Amino acid sequence: MTRIARIHHAIAILSVIAIVAGELLVFSGYITAGVAVHIINLQMIIVSMFVKREDTDQTVSDKRVLQSLLLLLQLRIINVSMPFFFTMTLYWYPMIYGPMFVAIYLILRHQNASFSDIGLASVPIDTLYYYLNFAMMLGGALALIEYRILSPDCLIPDLKITSMITLVIIMFFFVGLVEELIFRAILQTNLQQSIGVWKGLFVASVLFGIMHSGYGLAEELLFTTAAGLLIGYVYQKTGSLTFVTVIHGTINVLLFGILPHTL
């Protein structure tokens, strides 16, 4: 590896460490300091994009990892900075996650990622039926565990059909889809290409877990890291973004809608 390639690789490693440091500050209650670390990190990544680089496989991989990390930083900064326009927190989610589709699209286009590359290729109906059923069962099991950890407030006032439809749309097509695009289709894929399959899966899962630091619970960090490993492994084996999005969406619908009303 040349000197320039080593520099860019070091920047990618430093950026991951900075994300963990910023999230640990948020976890400890120092939200302003944590966001400041994220903003500095974001600027470092942007500047690194304009530094002369050699077009080797490693530098291309490192550049794609840095682009992936930009999405994490954007998501956290928008999340923390979002003004409270609504009294019902369910409606924050489209405002937080909606803008992420633009950045995700631009990065996927820049990286020449096809629908097949990110796991959106068409699958046979019988396979899809199996995927969806297994995904909902797995999501249900994970939701029960996480509910015992968080005991969160309900995001909907009741279990009427209109409330449930709203919750399902937001949790599947905003939260679930955006986070799975970021953490699995983009971040995990690029990390695995850069540092290896298992190391990439582990680092992506740790970052997925640490990004739940806002709850302030060590048990939640451990659970979401473990869940990230499981979901990431499922994505690695199936190559299906639909599969993992259904798992993620099912967890959130149960966790923030059905379970608080029924348990």
Q: What is the pLDDT along the chain (263 residues), one digit of tens a residue?
A: 566 667 778 888 999 999 999 999 999 999 999 999 999 999 999 888 777 666 666 677 888 999 999 999 999 988 887 655 555 578 889 989 999 999 999 999 999 999 999 998 877 777 778 888 999 999 999 999 999 999 999 999 999 999 999 999 999 999 999 999 999 999 999 999 999 999 999 999 999 999 999 999 999 999 999 999 999 999 999 999 999 999 999 999 999 999 999 98
pLDDT at position 243 is 93
**Rounded distance, CA 86 to CA 56, Å?**
48
Residue pair 115/239 in contact by the 8 Å Cβ criterion: no
Q: Which residue, among 109, 2, 112, has the nearest Cα to 55 in the 3D structure?
A: 2
Q: Cβ contacts of residue 248 below 8 Å, gap of 6+?
A: 139, 175, 176, 179, 180, 231
Q: Which residue, among 63, 52, 10, 2, has the nearest Cα to 193 in the 3D structure?
A: 63
* C-alpha pair distances (Å), 141 with each of 130, 147, 218, 240, 250: 17, 10, 20, 20, 10
Query: Count of domains in the chain?
Result: 1
**Rounded distance, CA 93 to CA 85, Å?**
11
- Quote the Cα angle for 149-150-156, to 5°: 140
**Rounded distance, CA 260 to CA 263, Å?**
6
**Structural domain boundaries, residue 213:** 3-262
pLDDT at position 121 is 80
Dihedral angle over CA of 85, 97, 208, 14, nearest 10? -90
Residue pair 159/257 in contact by the 8 Å Cβ criterion: yes
